[in-house]
Chains A and B, each alone.
Chain A
Amino acid sequence: MTEQGIGAAVARREDRRFVTGQGHYTDDINRRGQTHACFVRSPHAHATLNGVDTAAARAMPGVRGIFIGEDMAEVGPLICGWAITDVNGEPHRAPPHPALAIGKVNFVGDAVAVVIADTLEQAKDAAAAVDVDYGILGAVVDPATAAPDGQIQIHETAPGNLSYEWAIGDQAAIDAAFEGAAHVTSLEFTNNRLVPNAMEPRACIAEYEDGTGDYTLYLTSQNPHVHRLVMSAFHGLAPEHKLRVVAPDVGGGFGSKIFIYAEEVVLTWASRHIGRPIKWTAERTESFLTDCHGRDHVTKAELALDGDGKFLAMRVNTIANMGAYLSTFASAVPTYLYATLLAGQYTTGGIYCNVKAVFTNTVPVDAYRGAGRPEAAYVVERLVEAAAAETGRDPAELRKTNFVPTDAFPYETPVIMQYDCGDFAGSMDQALDLAGYSGFQARKAESKAGGKLRGVGFSSYIEACGVAPSAAAGSLGAGVGLWESANIRFNPTGNVQLFTGCHSHGQGHETAYAQIVADKLGVPYEQVDVIHGDSAKVPFGMGTYGSRSAAVGGSAIVKAADKVIEKGRKIAAHALEASEDDIEFAGGNFTVTGTDKAMNIAEVAFTAYVPHNYPEGLEPGLDETAFYDPLNFSFPAGTHICEVEVDPETGSVSIERYAAVDDFGVLINPLIVEGQVHGGIGQGVGQAMLEQAVYDNDGQLISGSYMDYTMPRADDVPNYDVGFNGVPSPLNPLGVKGCGEAGAIAAPAAVMNAVHDALSDVGVGHIEMPATPLRVWQAIQDAAA
């Protein structure tokens, strides 16, 4: 079985349907009697709702119903599921977020009303006829100036537009450490705001069956059970047992499809009121305006070094833009997913981080591929690289001087993380080799001869994924458990259906999970089917985000497989007339130790369902469910090295080389892992060089289409040199760590460090992401002036 078991580069089985157009997405589903929804959205960033006149719209052809916020008063507001305790011991301010605005709109795209009609065109026509009287207010857009006194107030319950001020670390001790430093590196920068841009826009179909009282919600969700839980428990839309959530094929999420959005709440509620199924599919403009954005930090960061280059202390002050409301997991992103990673791979003596989370009149900001960890890696790795340049040290050597040594694990950081294992210096050496670092100076000289600037940049990132140990997360404010479940069901004919609560929307679970089952149970890979995304089929689940599907979801599968083996042993022992203790299981066979008496697991399964010769008192069937709650986060880490060439005449930057060496522990499928690395780096390159959500002073999204929002294209990214230096995690049964976000976490710093290195030749000291041609050219002009 090993050729298709753990570690095998099996081609993804799901790609056949995806690349031949046979994927089955939410918008592909059509229900009998289906109607269509169009949302009336605010064109203003901040305005009072003085009146919503729907009379003319109601009279238009095909209209089945029009609802505004007041109509839905019985439905609870959208919630934030992670409660942060601020510096004063108070809970964060999470102002109410009604699914349809009541009294006031707070960002362009905020939903004011929903129009439901027989056809989409009719719904759009009627939506255009809804007359909304807006009282336009000034808008708060810039997070850096959102909080001070005297500003425009967005929410009554969040004075100064502040959701919370939060801090970690001993400020006085850190300040003292800075006093004694031989060198202090200080940087100020923004972490640019990004639009997730999943290929498939968000969509949902809500259906209510009057005869049974059952609701079915087809939805673009990364976590259908979480949607079911929140919509039942907090919105009161339907009891949990009466709400089925189906997330079929989903075309990319990157975090943006974790959250509970207004549209699915409104449609589920409205489906009962109009008695017909309702479909809504976001148009691309709606995706730009209403999908939760990512990042958006303004940070001042300082690193104190001693005379030997040892990192004494780090001090970080960040303003995090939450947008208009606190989204589902938004509060955790700039706190527990950010400040806790500021130790990086280093033995930095002490760390203080202060975070002010502010409201602005922009779409909510929440987790986006990496979620807090890219921001942390950018802080740490920009500081380290700048410190190397300022103190005349080789950036690789300075890192090595400060790496947590291999024999120091488990390692407690100053910011409450315990790293389980790693080989930071080993990954660095491997990356230096892969990048051809020793030849860099020669390549730089060649570039110079051609009138170009060449730079090299490092990113020795670490991240925490495999989200998350429930009790630990709960103690920090999480409102849910973060375990995962798996159900392995043998059929009498010996093949297997695996039901998982994780959800695949590009990750390749259907292949990788089948490999785990094949490996653990010795069942042919082809005879394992993976089923996910339907709360009526899968018992329970917490979904897919935070690179958890292997470390948490995969571990649940191993636990379920262990239960199958345990029961199978009893069945085999009885059939083979041996003691249970004498039964060994390997390669799919239960064997009596020291004999050739054996029974294949398929025969065991048959016996379990046709229990004619069967252990007394043992339940029939071979169908085992397991829940797994992780012991800790897992800590993927590695070194990425990027080499860029800058055309000083135009400001264009091209990535000439990109080497990545990552420690993901054990690889279940190296082909899929490498694909995840490529995709992650691509998004990281996007953040570093291309992507930027730009709002004007009135809160209008200027980069609200692909004419102005630059998505990475194939020719924007290089051929990657990818290597692995896996140190198996001792904390989960697979030894895996998680690979989905690492590229997006590592790449921005690697690229920007390279850009800074190249531009240092012409006197440019600082440049922000994205390093667009305009920015680079302007920086060169300014430096020359």
Chain B
Amino acid sequence: MYNFEYRKAGSVDEAAGIVGSDEDAKLLAGGMTYIPTLKQRLASPTTVVDLNGVGGLDGISADGNGVTIGAMVRHAAVAASADVAAAIPALADLASHIGDPQVRNRGTLGGSIANNDPAADYPAALVGLGATVQTNKRAIAADDFFTGLFETALDQDEVVTSVSFPRAGKAAYMKFPNPASRYAIAGVFVAQAADGVRVAVTGAGPCVFRVGEMEAALAANWSADAVAGIGIPADGLNEDIHASAEYRAHLVTVMAKRAVAKAG
């Protein structure tokens, strides 16, 4: 990696201040994407601001409305949380299948969503449940947060502090993994969410997206059969050596069907 200045942030405000005043400074959470990027000399930041150790970002709390998970909570902690399992078991299940044990013990919710990898799992949960992202500046609805390929609504001086997930009725996530990376080729989160049925797809396109036709069908008839016949267009979906756009489109339907079946 190239040389850079390392700063261990004492507070969210301090971290936001550093990255806000230097567009070549970068926040470090779990580092599951960023450390390999640095090691391969694919990034050359002036300053890396380490959020590990910043107080107040690592809690999980539940109330009648749902669960709120701190930005620095590791995937393994979400997977193991009794609060998450009680409120939204599908969310705990999703977290338990992110990456591998090493990634789950190190990777964070905030880091994952701020990176917005098109094949990451968490974006499907946030959009599928109608979650709200809390930053040092504002609250952002999940539907508005993920804006494109590795793009989010976050400003340069904005730091994710937590995500609030409203309780849902039936919900489940199914993904078809890339055989090599095990990221989602197509991952579908279905939920009887607080504001209605949601179907969120990750992995298949450049950014997480919802499938309105499936949502309407499931709202009318919550069953795997209701979505089995609903295809999505292959246009604009990702293509690589592991999956054509047509295959991805097909897998979205299959995963949606299986997610509904899994949700019960």
A contact residues vs B (CB 8 Å cutoff): 121, 124, 285, 649-651, 690, 692, 694, 702-703, 706-711, 772-774, 777-778
B251 touches A708 (CB 8 A): no
* Closest Cβ neighbor of A713 among chain B residues: B182
* B241: interface (CB < 8 Å): yes
Q: In the bound complex, how far is the Cα of B242 from the Cα of A285, in angstroms?
A: 20
Find chain A residues with CB under 8 A from B247 CB.
651, 774, 777-778
Residues of B contacting A: mostly = loop
A124 touches B180 (CB 8 A): no
CB < 8 Å neighbour of A710 from B3, B179, B240: B179
A650 touches B254 (CB 8 A): yes
Find chain B residues with CB under 8 A from A649 CB.
254
Find chain A residues with CB under 8 A from B183 CB.
707
* B40: interface (CB < 8 Å): yes
B181 touches A774 (CB 8 A): no
Q: In the bound complex, how far is the Cα of B254 from the Cα of A121, in angstroms?
A: 48
A694 touches B241 (CB 8 A): yes
Find chain B residues with CB under 8 A from A774 CB.
242-244, 247
B32 to chain A, nearest CB (A): 13
Q: In the bound complex, how far is the Cα of B247 from the Cα of A571, in angstroms?
A: 77
Given contacts A706-B181, A710-B180, 11 further A-B contacts (CB under 8 A): A124-B41, A649-B254, A702-B241, A706-B180, A707-B180, A708-B180, A708-B241, A709-B180, A772-B242, A773-B176, A778-B244
B contact residues vs A (CB 8 Å cutoff): 3, 40-41, 176, 179-181, 183, 240-244, 247, 250-251, 254
CB < 8 Å neighbour of A690 from B41, B179, B243: B179
* Closest Cβ neighbor of B179 among chain A residues: A710
B250 touches A777 (CB 8 A): yes
Find chain A residues with CB under 8 A from B181 CB.
706-708
Residues of A contacting B: mostly = loop
Q: In the bound complex, how far is the Cα of B242 from the Cα of A707, in angstroms?
A: 11
Q: In the bound complex, how far is the Cα of B244 from the Cα of A703, in angstroms?
A: 16
* Closest Cβ neighbor of A696 among chain B residues: B241
Find chain B residues with CB under 8 A from A711 CB.
180
Find chain B residues with CB under 8 A from A772 CB.
179, 242
Find chain A residues with CB under 8 A from B3 CB.
121
Q: In the bound complex, how far is the Cα of B176 from the Cα of A650, in angstroms?
A: 8
B61 to chain A, nearest CB (A): 35
Provide a sorted-by-A list of 28 A–B residue pairs whose CB atoms are within 8 angstroms. Answer: A124-B41, A285-B40, A650-B176, A650-B251, A650-B254, A651-B247, A690-B179, A690-B180, A692-B241, A694-B241, A702-B241, A703-B180, A703-B241, A706-B180, A707-B180, A707-B181, A707-B183, A708-B181, A708-B240, A708-B242, A710-B179, A710-B180, A711-B180, A772-B242, A774-B242, A774-B244, A777-B247, A778-B244
Most chain A C-beta atoms within 10 Å of own C-beta, residue among B41, B180, B247: B180
* Closest Cβ neighbor of A716 among chain B residues: B179
Q: In the bound complex, how far is the Cα of B117 from the Cα of A707, in angstroms?
A: 13
Most chain A C-beta atoms within 10 Å of own C-beta, residue among B40, B240, B241, B244: B241
Q: In the bound complex, how far is the Cα of B251 from the Cα of A709, in angstroms?
A: 21
A263 to chain B, nearest CB (A): 20
A701 to chain B, nearest CB (A): 11
A248 to chain B, nearest CB (A): 25
* Closest Cβ neighbor of A692 among chain B residues: B241
Find chain A residues with CB under 8 A from B240 CB.
708
Q: In the bound complex, how far is the Cα of B242 from the Cα of A692, in angstroms?
A: 11
A433 to chain B, nearest CB (A): 33
* Closest Cβ neighbor of A284 among chain B residues: B40
B110 to chain A, nearest CB (A): 23
B13 to chain A, nearest CB (A): 33
In the A-B complex, the 8 residue pairs with the smallest Cβ-Cβ separation, listed nearest first, are A710-B180, A707-B181, A710-B179, A708-B180, A649-B254, A694-B241, A774-B247, A774-B243
